[in-house]
A = this chain, B = another copy of it.
Amino acid sequence: MTSTAGRPNFIQPGAGGPTAQLVASLSLAIHEHRLRPGTKLGEDELGEIYKVSRTVVRSALQALSHSELVELKRNRGAFVSQPTVREARQVFEARALLEPRTARSAAERMTDEALARMEAHIRSEHDAIAAGEAGKALRLSGQFHIEISHIADQAIIAGFIERLVARSSLIIALYWRRQSALCEEHAHHALVDAFRRRDGAEAEELMKSHLLDVVTALDLRDSPAPSVNLRDILQP
């Protein structure tokens, strides 16, 4: 598997520095629900897994805390964030405020290339679901919303939506009720149809009801259920 035997590491030289790669790897794991909310992220533990020093681990954890995927408790350590019910509601209120309008913008500015990307994207989502890769499907589902915001060409708003989607992933991990991600797939398909027709009003409406669907599929009453181990999860 390795050409130069003896370096089976995940952190490769180059590519923006080890910190960025660690952030990416951990983000991925969180978005795919391999790391559950509440999981403790010990510095030594991560350092040993990824074969990097605590310096870069700390740097990565700090970065993740600023994107609110990780909560840093002073002298206590880092934990995957556990959004409260209150925060969950506010996150989806914010999304309801930003995303429908953004979807409209995206539809109006839609180019052929961007449309092709979106179509390819929902195919990937479909494949992941078909292959039973729930984690990947979930991540792609979030990515779908981020893609839209980028097409809308409002970098600032896109950044906000990116944060909201990330937090939504944690919220779904904690509060998801239904099983089926099928509704998701249908909604995304309908949105791309609207994009294809450059129908801004329709896209706005579809996004609005899509977000509402997601919220109503959450159980925003009681509290979380935490914690697993690490080493097993972060291998591939």
A residues at B contact (CB < 8 Å)? 16-17, 59, 62-63, 66-67, 74, 87, 90-91, 93-94, 97-98, 101, 154-157, 160, 164
Contact = CB atoms under 8 A, between A and B. Distances in A.
A161 B54 CA distance: 33
13 contacts: A59-B62, A63-B66, A66-B66, A87-B156, A90-B155, A90-B156, A90-B157, A93-B156, A93-B157, A94-B157, A94-B160, A97-B157, A156-B164
The majority secondary structure among interface residues of chain A is helix
Q: Which 8 A-B pairs have the closest CB atoms?
A: A66-B66, A94-B156, A90-B156, A160-B160, A94-B157, A62-B62, A90-B155, A91-B156
A73 to B, nearest CB: 12
Contact of A154 (B17, B66, B93): B93
Nearest to A16: B74
Contacts of A59: 62
Contacts of A74: 16-17
Contacts of A91: 156
A90 B94 CA distance: 18
Contacts of A154: 90, 93-94
B101 A97 contact: yes
A16 B91 CA distance: 27
Given A91-B156, A94-B160, A97-B101, 13 more contacts: A16-B74, A17-B74, A62-B62, A66-B67, A87-B155, A87-B156, A90-B154, A90-B155, A90-B156, A93-B156, A94-B156, A97-B98, A160-B160
